[in-house]
Amino acid sequence: MNREETEMVSRCQQGDQEALKEIFEKYHKKVYSIAYGVVRQREEALDVVQEVFIKLFRSIKNFRGRSQFYTYLYRMVMNTAIDHKRKAGKQFMPSLDEEGSIQPSDDAEKGPERVLLQKELEERVKLAMDKLPAEQKAALIFRDVEGLSYQEMAEAMGCSIGTVMSRLHYGRKRMQESLKDYVKLPGQSRGVSTVSGR
């Protein structure tokens, strides 16, 4: 943590709302990005952002500075987002295994069809992620969406680097299986087109 950030966090710990605003200015996009990565829905992700900063203001006194502040914050975001997702998950959600969804088109380069395919693909990714255990989902979002290092991930997830690597490995494997129509599996030829080149 640099001096400026230490001071900002310290002011916030003393109840300075202006300091919280500075933290918000610095991290809100990252917080939204992690939240969106988990819930994959705009309104819900914004709710998570709000909840996280309110929670942070109340609990920042517990931050002892043993880890980077952002890993402390990211951990809070991940837990809040997963919690939100769990609550929302009680509502009906179609399973990935269900048949009858829109099939990916070979003619994906055409405008409206491409848009449709992208929507379908996003929905597929969302459903595939929903099926992952929370720890694997967190690992994938921290690494593949946020680009955190193994060390930062270990801090944010409160585990060892070995555990981080294991969660990443199994998370990727599961995702590749769930999205095999879209992601080329090693040693397999893909039967349908992909939009990964957009």
Partner 1 sequence: MTNSCSSVSTVLEKYFDQEVTDEEKLLVEGHLEDCPACQDVLKSMEELRTLMKVPVAEAVQKEDFPWVWQKIEREIRLQEKQPWWQSLRSWLDVTPLFRRKVWIPAVATAVVLLLFSTQIIFEKTPSYPDGSVVEYVQSQTDNVMVYQLEDPKVTVIWLFESPEEERTTT
As a whole number of angstroms, the distance between CA 96 and CA 99 comes to 8
In total, the chain counts a number of residues equal to 198
Q: Give the interface size with partner 1 as a residue count (CB under 8 A).
A: 46
73 binds partner 1, rule: CB under 8 A: no
Region binding partner 1 by CB under 8 A among candidate stretches 2-10, 59-67, 79-87, 138-146: 138-146
As a whole number of angstroms, the distance between CA 164 and CA 139 comes to 7
- The least distance separating partner 1 from the CB of residue 135, rounded to whole angstroms, comes to 16
Taking CB under 8 A as the criterion, the residue among 109, 145, 158, 192 binding partner 1 is 145
- Positive/negative CA dihedral, 74, 80, 83, 88: negative
85 binds partner 1, rule: CB under 8 A: no
Give exposure, 74-110, as e/b (b: 16+ Cβ within 10 Å). bbbbbebbbebbeeeeeeeeeebeeeeeeebeeebee
CA 141 to chain centre: 4
68 binds partner 1, rule: CB under 8 A: no
Residues of this chain that bind partner 1 (CB under 8 A): 17, 20-21, 24, 28-29, 32-33, 36-37, 40, 42, 45-46, 49-50, 53-54, 57, 121-122, 125, 129, 140-141, 143-145, 149-150, 165, 168-169, 172, 175-176, 179, 182-187, 194, 196, 198
